[in-house]
Structure 1
């Protein structure tokens, strides 16, 4: 028998209550004043209609031995290592889902979650679901990068994470780098920007991408800093970048002429977060990831198996 639109809307509502809000079937039945058997039939119909798909969880794609070795080698709080398989989703999606589940489990009332820009962090934002508490503030760690409609844009990452968690979003409504120091100082004194940076300094969890010194790094790829500067900052010893800040192989900051004009978290403030999670993949990033860990800029890692092996071999 064909279902009418109202039937499908009810089925979708029940599916969302079960899988997005994580309510038990008897709780849904009570709220909607229907029988549990009605809920069971609706959930089966949701599967048949394609509203719900069954997938292998990212937990099943994790390499626990590599995670153990990374934690032991680098003294990490935890490591999440995924093994993308042929025919499965792309590595960013799998890693994003795996990190998202880990982040959700660690959010407690009053958490301030700082987030950067970048493809891997954007994949986490796309996969995030409501955690144990919605009393969470999500705050951007860097001003706008690129066009706002790009998923890896800092404002979009912040918005998506907050929406998925049911949390409060604190976006940073300024460019990542402004034209001169006077303009930067003026913006930092405005009430809206000052409030965001005050929250940044109180963050309890940080989730950041790490870029190598290459055209693929977000800060260069989105045109925040011209690619011609890559050779200059590399010659000064930089091996990686986080939120437009550069660091060397020991994890110590490498000065650039953009520092005083950059509106983003400092590496020092980032390192003060009790939990700092790097979300990055690609063996080419291993030197930058290793430096960020050894310099204690971050103390947890989400990556793929190829990158994990490159880290352990270095």
Structure 2
């Protein structure tokens, strides 16, 4: 820009454009600048945060969905994010941001929060507000070392919470599923792992996504299953998982042997938490989420508008 524009002038032009509804041509003529110069000033106002644009969504339909979810599934709280652009990335950003804002309203100094991992949890971690809480502890809820060299993003999620909220973080540096119960018990008896699991036990807040039984899932891609094992889970009526614990449409553990080989918080322990916060996006999560709700693993639910409606419709069809 050939003309040096002060911050005061940026504010002035912004008010003329956004509050007085003058066109860029009118502002250019009034100030003696070219129209492209005015356009660049308005761009600068947005980039520097002088102007912030927000879209106000109608609340009636959203509140209706939240009310229906609360009464149907006996939740403590339900949060539905409106969808105007049916694109998973956009939905994930919006839902993830809402989760972060909610956490700032319930977290207090000294709290421990257990965090799972996965695609949905990454949306939350990447859209946290800068809050600056004190003496918070973030701990990984279930093992997160992937096989086949693939990352589960568990470390990145913990780091994002530490960076935005402040506090200390603890990873659970083990596989989430091992070959035998004997190996799982041996790992859990290690003093370091035992210390981390005690932190998970102390956490009154657990934040997790809802996994769908699919070969596109993070667990499958991370190499935890062979095809025959996945096929067996399907035959047993498995619909999804929470923290790598697989359940059926009624919320029952679908494979006790697999569950015994899993390292991390149990679904029984999850039910006892003060805040068991589930985050789910996309209509394809309807059946696993319904199973999780029937198992009563969730006290607080964050979903998008499309999934919320699909969930209620499916519950009606099944007479739940």
TM-score, structure 2 as length reference: 0.76
Q: Is the 8 A contact 1:61 1:84 kept in 2?
A: no
1:62-116: CA deviation from partner (whole Å, max 9, x where unpaired) = 7222122211221211112112323986111111111111112111122221111
Task: Report the CA distance shift for 1:285/1:136 in structure 2 as closer, same or farther (over 3 A).
Answer: same
Q: Give runs of aligned pairs for residues 159-174 of structure 1, distance below 5 A.
A: 159-174=159-174
Q: Is the 8 A contact 1:104 1:130 kept in 2?
A: no
Task: Report the CA distance shift for 1:146/1:78 in structure 2 as closer, same or farther (over 3 A).
Answer: same
- Partners in 2 of 1:142 and 1:285 — Cα distance? 21
Matched, 1:50 2:47: yes
| The structure with more radius of gyration | 2
Q: Is the 8 A contact 2:151 2:222 kept in 1?
A: no
Task: Report the CA distance shift for 1:233/1:87 in structure 2 as closer, same or farther (over 3 A).
Answer: closer
- Partners in 2 of 1:45 and 1:135 — Cα distance? 41
Q: Give runs of aligned pairs for residues 265-284 of structure 1, distance below 5 A.
A: 265-284=265-284
Task: Report the CA distance shift for 1:151/1:124 in structure 2 as closer, same or farther (over 3 A).
Answer: farther
1:142-175: CA deviation from partner (whole Å, max 9, x where unpaired) = 112438x988522221221122110211111112
Higher alpha-carbon deviation: 94-103 or 79-88: 79-88
Q: Which residue of 1 aligns with 2:114?
A: 114
Report the CA distance between 1:50 and its aligned residue: 2.7
Q: Which residue of 2 aligns with 1:146?
A: 146
- Partners in 2 of 1:226 and 1:283 — Cα distance? 26
TM-score, structure 1 as length reference: 0.77
- Partners in 2 of 1:234 and 1:169 — Cα distance? 35
Q: Which residue of 1 aligns with 2:16?
A: none
- Partners in 1 of 2:58 and 2:196 — Cα distance? 37
Q: Which residue of 2 aligns with 1:245?
A: 245
Q: How many residues are paired up?
A: 272
Report the CA distance between 1:238 and its aligned residue: 1.7
Q: Which residue of 2 aligns with 1:226?
A: 226
Task: Report the CA distance shift for 1:140/1:86 in structure 2 as closer, same or farther (over 3 A).
Answer: same
Task: Report the CA distance shift for 1:221/1:84 in structure 2 as closer, same or farther (over 3 A).
Answer: farther
Task: Report the CA distance shift for 1:247/1:49 in structure 2 as closer, same or farther (over 3 A).
Answer: closer
Q: Which residue of 1 aligns with 2:285?
A: 285
Task: Report the CA distance shift for 1:87/1:273 in structure 2 as closer, same or farther (over 3 A).
Answer: closer
- Partners in 2 of 1:49 and 1:131 — Cα distance? 22
Partner SS, residue 121 of structure 1: helix
Task: Report the CA distance shift for 1:145/1:80 in structure 2 as closer, same or farther (over 3 A).
Answer: farther
Task: Report the CA distance shift for 1:87/1:245 in structure 2 as closer, same or farther (over 3 A).
Answer: closer
Q: Which residue of 1 aligns with 2:73?
A: 74
Task: Report the CA distance shift for 1:227/1:270 in structure 2 as closer, same or farther (over 3 A).
Answer: farther
Task: Report the CA distance shift for 1:304/1:295 in structure 2 as closer, same or farther (over 3 A).
Answer: same
Report the CA distance between 1:259 and its aligned residue: 2.5
User: Which 5+ residue runs of structure 1 have no aligned equivalent?
Assistant: 3-43
Q: Is the 8 A contact 2:114 2:207 kept in 1?
A: yes
- Partners in 2 of 1:227 and 1:242 — Cα distance? 20
Note the aligned Cα RMSD (angstroms).
2.9
- Partners in 2 of 1:251 and 1:55 — Cα distance? 42
Q: Which residue of 1 aligns with 2:63?
A: 64
Q: Which residue of 2 aligns with 1:197?
A: 197
Partner SS, residue 144 of structure 1: coil
